[in-house]
Structure 1
């Protein structure tokens, strides 16, 4: 299938395994360069190796999404190595199974930062250029009254 993404750059968060790895490989099979971000450098590298086996181009990034200060540094690396991000796959893992009650608020804060705030920060960083290139919506969705 030709999705028209050959030569585009994709960033896949959580790309080291499972669904993220499958998405990264599928995008690479369509000709996109893929930045594979994962908290595990080894997992990200395994996906990069699978992409290379498909004949694709990829870069691995060891990226703890809870570290909001790393967003600009990682996006700058992607832009330097593969080009500007055209496709963003916001795939994050969830917190480990636990009881709802009696949890330390720091645990909730850490997971909120890595699962929500990081996605907002990364999207804010790449969306303006994606819009200029015609690869994102041109305006935000209206907010219901």
Structure 2
């Protein structure tokens, strides 16, 4: 027995998704996907495709997907930052133990500027939190 398909399919794209209604209730038993909306995750909006009118179920499914997607992207952002911290440590170890003079000459200025920029922003943000009194 085949697994039941979902009612909606969300084709992820860079700024959101294209939403399709999945239909298997046809004579040929083929999977038909009918585009019903486009989602822009950056501004939290979605628009019906063409001159469609979205049902309450359509809107609810889209909004549920958007909430789940935003939560996933937030988790990925934090994971990326934790990986960046790890990578900075790995880079430090490479500079300490393996890097040659030519390699260091090639990356030092770019790395120092990036680290200075990051430090400046982090210090400013920390000071802002301390001024508001919400630093733990």
Q: Higher helix fraction: Structure 1 or Structure 2?
A: 2
Q: Please indicate, yes or no, whether the TM-score normalized by the shorter chain is above 0.5.
A: no
Q: Which has the higher strand share?
A: 2
TM-score bracket relative to the smaller structure: under 0.3
Instruction: Give the structure with higher Rg (CA).
Output: 2
Query: TM-score with structure 1 length normalisation?
Result: 0.24
Higher relative contact order (CA 8 A, sep 6+): 1
